[in-house]
Chain A
Amino acid sequence: MIIAALLMTLQVAVQDPRLERLDPETRGLVGAVIDSAREVGLPSEPLVQRALEGVTKGAAGARIVAAVRRLSADLGTARGALGTHASSPELEAGVAALRAGATPQLLAHLRDVRKPPLTMALSVLADLVAGGVPPDSAAAAILVLAPNARDADLVDFRRAVERDIALGAPPGTATSVRVNAGAASPNAIHAPPPGNAPPPRRP
């Protein structure tokens, strides 16, 4: 009886209360995916957040389960490329890069040339592709910048490329020009001075 009580306590304790926002059937399926991910050492928080995003946006249960399953699989692929020591933010950014078109080999190469954390480098790669830069151009640019650029430099680089694209430059050309300019002068990849920005920064 004591053992049964203990097992019940354990079950209640490990069940994430936030998942109660899902309907019972979806909750069970999502919970099973999360348990499987946890068993192989993958972070569960991104999976929980994806499920909560789905339920808040009113998605059907089957769609939520499919999204959580796909994310779990991609987190596994990202970890395979980035290594078992990769943090949860790095894995999440790795998933974004993979979905943007980066290969696992590229992620592994990035891991070899840049000191951790890789979160910003991977995110900027994904964001460039989302902004219209061809995946190959974005990957080549990040690999050139990754060894020495700071996180802030990478964000400035992304903003500079986005601005050039908004002004009418072809995305691939904007990227390569900014990278070449950055190689010639590290300050050239920076966006123009924004003036005295307020303490909280914008995304």
Chain B
Amino acid sequence: MFDRHEDVVERVIQHLRRPVVPPIDPGLDARVMVAIAQTPGGSEGRRWLYWASLAAAAVLAVVLVAHPWSRGGRASGSDLLQFVFVAPRAASVSLVGDFNDWDPARSPMQTAQGVWATAVRLAPGRYRYAFLVNGVEWRADPAAPVAKDDEFGTPSSVVTVGGKRL
């Protein structure tokens, strides 16, 4: 039954792909060209249309291609990770890292008696992160590998999310 259904679909596709050749008046081309030539400002109108089309295409290309700040490539196959940090005396703890543009406002952690936690969905990749305590103190995650190549004088940790094997 499935094969028959596919066969029908295939025939419909073939039918739709056939070139359509409507009956054409042999003198149509000539009459159209004469009409265009007689249109006032026709040439300027077409030039404006050409530049407008070019501009629209350029803007569209920029929107579609030049999105360097998009992390869309990492969006598939994400994994929910829980981050926990124990700081009984802290007034606030934020999770900051490669996954939230190092923006402390993006991942504030919730506390229960000094145990701060949050969960973040991460796509496959290797991420550097740290905890920001009280908005001023940088702390690495004691439960995760340390980022050895720290270049800014404060500790960071790393987490790796595995991808699907090919």
Q: Scan residues 92-126 of chain B and give those whose CB is less than 8 A from a CB of chain A.
A: 96, 98, 101-104, 119, 124-126
Which label, helix, strand, loop or mixed, suits the secondary structure of the A interface?
A: helix
**List of B residues within 8 angstroms of A150 by Cβ:** 165
Contact check, A16 vs B68: say whether CB atoms are below 8 A apart: yes
Interface string of A114-151 (1 = CB under 8 A from B): 01110110111011011100000000000000000011
Q: Which residue of B lies closest to A16 (CB)?
A: B69
B34 at the interface (CB under 8 A from A): no
Q: Which residue of A lies closest to B63 (CB)?
A: A13
**Among A10, A56, A115, A201, contact of B166 (Cβ-Cβ < 8 Å):** A115
A174 at the interface (CB under 8 A from B): no
Contact check, B148 vs A119: say whether CB atoms are below 8 A apart: no
**List of A residues within 8 angstroms of B75 by Cβ:** none
Contact check, A119 vs B152: say whether CB atoms are below 8 A apart: no
**List of A residues within 8 angstroms of B119 by Cβ:** 200
Contact check, B152 vs A53: say whether CB atoms are below 8 A apart: yes
**Among A14, A56, A96, contact of B66 (Cβ-Cβ < 8 Å):** A14
Contact check, B148 vs A10: say whether CB atoms are below 8 A apart: no
How many of A's residues come within 8 Å of B, CB to CB?
62
How many of B's residues come within 8 Å of A, CB to CB?
53
Contact check, B148 vs A203: say whether CB atoms are below 8 A apart: no
Given the interface pairs A48-B69, A89-B124, A201-B82, the reply to whether A18 lies near B153 with Cβ below 8 Å is no
Given the interface pairs A52-B102, A59-B152, A96-B126, the reply to whether A200 lies near B81 with Cβ below 8 Å is yes
**List of B residues within 8 angstroms of A67 by Cβ:** 151-152
Q: Scan residues 174-203 of chain A and give those whose CB is less than 8 A from a CB of chain B.
A: 198-203
B128 at the interface (CB under 8 A from A): yes
CB distance from B72 to the nearest CB of A (A): 10
A6 at the interface (CB under 8 A from B): yes
**Among B62, B73, B104, B149, contact of A56 (Cβ-Cβ < 8 Å):** B104
A38 at the interface (CB under 8 A from B): yes
Contact check, B81 vs A9: say whether CB atoms are below 8 A apart: no
Q: How far is the CA of A87 from the CA of B55 in the complex (A)?
A: 33
Q: A55-B102, A126-B148 are in contact. List 9 more A-B contacts (CB 8 A).
A: A16-B69, A56-B102, A66-B151, A116-B165, A117-B166, A120-B162, A202-B82, A202-B144, A203-B144
